[in-house]
Amino acid sequence: MWLQIKRTIKFAINNIAHNYWLAIATIGSIAIALFIINVQIANLMANNLLLEDIQNKVNISVYLKPEVNDEAGREIARKIESYPEVEKVNYVSKEEAFEKFKKDTANNQVLQEALDEVGDNPLGITLNVKARNSEDYPKINEKIKQDTFQDKIESINYEEYKGIISNLNEEIRSSQKITIILAVILSLIAVLITFSTITITIYTHRKEIEIMKLVGGSNFFVSAPFVWEGIIYGVIAAVISTAASYGYLQYIIKNSSDGSLLSLSSARFIKQFLETYLIRNWAIIILSQLLAGIFLGVTSSLISIRKYLKI
Amino acid sequence: MIKYHKVSKVYSRQDKAVLKDINLEIQEREFVTLVGYSGAGKSTLLKMIYAEERPTSGDVYFYKTKINKLSRRKLPKHRQQIGTVFQDYKLLPQKNVWQNVAFAMEVAGKSEEEIAEDVPQIIDIVGLKNKSHKYPEELSGGEQQKVALARALVNRPKILVADEPTGNLDPISTWEIMQLLLKINEYGTTVVLATHDKDVVNRIARRVISMDKGKIIKDDAHGRYCI
């Protein structure tokens, strides 16, 4: 058996060497498909990290009017905390808010002077509301606005975050869709190209195949070289695409400068993604690349063999 | 060894019977010549031995196995017991003589040691000892057919099927090939030869089966070409 495997691999390598331009085109097309899929997935994962990060930081800050006292403030906090969507409410008293404000504006001369002028604490109680799920913020926002204590609210800062969160959610959802569609289309193209390459190989070796069958070559022996050919294409393409994807992601990290949302996700979070996720899971990633490459190669060979080898 | 039992073959596309109710037995170590015009059904009859064609009705036996009922999985083992040569040699142009012969052994799963031992022997038997590194295009037609013969024999088949092996050859080469076939037969291999070369048939004077329009019209133990 081992001898047969060795021989069929030898035949496969001969076949590839015989038609190396075709081989290069085939490997290239599988590699490009895998590369684009990789970059899409990396981008998607980086966006997820970004979203997670923002979700952890985001909350709705409810500023109560200055005249609302501590007791009424705590009552409102309890009420908001009883919403099923709310994870917790962080209560910031007037004094804490004032201290924090003073600290934050310590090097702003004008504000410091203005505070001295007022003398009293002009700030109200702040309630920092954290949702269980970032998608629930609009709902919580509406609930707070319509609750019985709405006349005690000075303002809610939700609107500033609203844009970012919904944009991000949308971006992630659409890039998920794009990733899936791209993956399917590119895989199909790669399979088609590999399929035609192997069909050409079968065609150019039809005499050899005829003789193999005539002298009693087993079905395994006759078809195995073409399966190996597909595997070899897949493996080489996987190696190339892994290296290319890694290089490309590194390049993005180094070269993204503007602070747009996309480059934020593409740079900082791709970096995080590379450093934490990729490096920790390199074995799984390389393995999955190889499997994806082999899958594409072998699928194409099998279709071609079924169609043209009549085994 | 080979037995045709009520074998008929109809090609569905032409709706014409190529073989009609053939009953024929070939014994071990026999040398059988099949003669007849083109289209008489000689090739179809031979193809049934190596299961390239299957009868529309009837059975073809190789010893006790029904060749026409062999599964695709069992086909390779069956074919390894049968050597085949054709008018067009079917050599691989990018392989030299040695590699062409070794190819049959590689495909059959023989070890490198066996290949190294048997290939030179068989090349010697067919008389191409000094040309084992030549490529088919550097050889004459007769020499190419000798390579094909060596390849057919290298796996030690029980039966050799030769379909018009001398069809493209000059008289001298033809005679060389015929002598090789006779020699192979003497060593114990059954030979089934299809030809329409009258001289060949008459000179070797072995069993002659004459075919016409898909039927066996004559079967002589020491026959002559008489169509």
A30 with A96, same domain: the answer is no
Give the count of alpha carbons within 13 A of B196, CB side only.
Answer: 12
Over range A78-96, report the average pLDDT: 86
The set of residues, in sequence order, having a beta carbon less than 8 Å from that of B157 and lying 6+ positions away, is B80, B81, B82, B83, B189
pLDDT recorded at residue A260: 43
A185 with A282, same domain: the answer is yes
Judge contact between B166 and B35, C-beta under 8 A: no
For the record, the structure tokens of B71 come out as 């599964």
Which pairing describes strands A153-156 and A126-131: parallel, antiparallel, or unpaired? unpaired
Judge contact between B109 and A221, C-beta under 8 A: yes
Residue where a domain stops, chosen among A120, A143, A158: A158
Residue where a domain stops, chosen among A117, A140, A158: A158
For B18-38, how does the pLDDT look when each residue is reduced to its tens digit (9 = 90+)?
899 999 999 999 999 999 888
d(CA A125, CA A69): 8
Portion 213-232 of A in contact with B at CB < 8 A: 213-219, 221
A225 with A141, same domain: the answer is no
* Chain A residue with the nearest C-alpha to that of B108: A217
Measured CA distances, A289 to A195, A226, A282, A301 (Å): 20, 21, 10, 18
d(CA A115, CA A101): 10
Cβ distance of A217 and B50 shorter than 8 Å = no
Candidate from B104, B109, B151 with C-beta closest to A4: B109
A44 with A68, same domain: the answer is no
Query: How much helix, strand and coil, in percent to the nearest 5, is found in chain B?
Result: 35, 25, 35
- Chain A residues with CB inside 8 Å of B107's CB? 211-212, 215-217, 221
A94 with A229, same domain: the answer is no
The set of residues, in sequence order, having a beta carbon less than 8 Å from that of A85 and lying 6+ positions away, is A131, A132, A133, A136, A139, A140, A143
DSSP for residue B170: -
Over range B12-16, report the average pLDDT: 74
pLDDT recorded at residue A308: 78
Number of other CB atoms surrounding residue B14 within 10 Å: 8
Over range A300-306, report the average pLDDT: 84
Candidate from B72, B75, B92 with C-beta closest to A211: B92
Residue where a domain stops, chosen among A110, A140, A158: A158
B106, B156, B160: best to mutate for the A interface, most A CBs within 10 A:
B106
Number of other CB atoms surrounding residue B16 within 10 Å: 11
* Chain B residue with the nearest C-alpha to that of A221: B107
A183 with A271, same domain: the answer is yes
pLDDT recorded at residue A160: 66
Residue B80's nearest CA partner among A95, A23, A213, A262 is: A213
A200 with A303, same domain: the answer is yes
A185 touches chain B (CB under 8 A): no
A97 with A14, same domain: the answer is no
pLDDT recorded at residue B128: 94
For B156-213, how does the pLDDT look when each residue is reduced to its tens digit (9 = 90+)?
999 999 999 999 899 999 999 999 999 999 999 999 999 988 888 888 889 999 999 8
Cβ distance of B107 and A217 shorter than 8 Å = yes
For A34-52, how does the pLDDT look when each residue is reduced to its tens digit (9 = 90+)?
888 888 777 777 777 777 7
DSSP for residue B53: S
- State how far residue B53 is from chain A, nearest Cα, in angstroms: 13
For the record, the structure tokens of B82 come out as 């049968």
Sketch the domain layout of chain B as residue ranges: 92-155
Q: Which helix (H) or strand (E) holds B2?
A: strand B2-11
Measured CA distances, B88 to B142, B163, B220 (Å): 11, 10, 29
A43 with A66, same domain: the answer is no
Over range A273-277, report the average pLDDT: 70
A304 with A189, same domain: the answer is yes
Judge contact between B75 and B67, C-beta under 8 A: no
d(CA A103, CA A106): 5
A75 with A146, same domain: the answer is yes
- Chain B residues with CB inside 8 Å of A3's CB? 109, 111-112
d(CA A163, CA A170): 10
* Chain B residue with the nearest C-alpha to that of A225: B107
- Chain A residues with CB inside 8 Å of B77's CB? 216
pLDDT recorded at residue A45: 76
Number of other CB atoms surrounding residue A82 within 10 Å: 9
- State how far residue B190 is from chain A, nearest Cα, in angstroms: 17
Average predicted confidence (pLDDT) for chain A: 81
Cβ distance of A215 and B72 shorter than 8 Å = no
User: Whole domain around residue A77: which residue ranges?
Assistant: 59-158
- State how far residue A18 is from chain B, nearest Cα, in angstroms: 11
SS3 labels along chain A? CHHHHHHHHHHHHHHHHHCHHHHHHHHHHHHHHHHHHHHHHHHHHHHHHHHHHHHHHCCEEEEECCCCCHHHHHHHHHHHHCCCCEEEEEEECHHHHHHHHHHHCCCCHHHHHHHHHHCCCCCCCEEEEEECCHHHHHHHHHHHHHCCCHHHEEEECHHHHHHHHHHHHHHHHHHHHHHHHHHHHHHHHHHHHHHHHHHHHHHHCHHHHHHHHHCCCCHHHHHHHHHHHHHHHHHHHHHHHHHHHHHHHHHHHHHCCCCCHHHHHHHHHHHHHHHHHHHHCHHHHHHHHHHHHHHHHHHHHHHHHHHHCCC
Q: Which helix (H) or strand (E) holds B182?
A: helix B171-186
For A150-159, how does the pLDDT look when each residue is reduced to its tens digit (9 = 90+)?
788 888 877 6
CATH code for the domain of A103? 3.30.70.3040
Cβ distance of B76 and A208 shorter than 8 Å = no
* Chain B residue with the nearest C-alpha to that of A1: B109
ipTM of the complex: 0.85
Cβ-based interface (< 8 Å): residues of B facing A: 50, 72-73, 75-82, 84, 90, 92, 103-104, 106-109, 111-112, 151-152, 155
A170 with A298, same domain: the answer is yes
Measured CA distances, A203 to A193, A211, A226 (Å): 15, 14, 12
Residue tagged 């040691």 (tokens): B113
pLDDT recorded at residue B96: 94
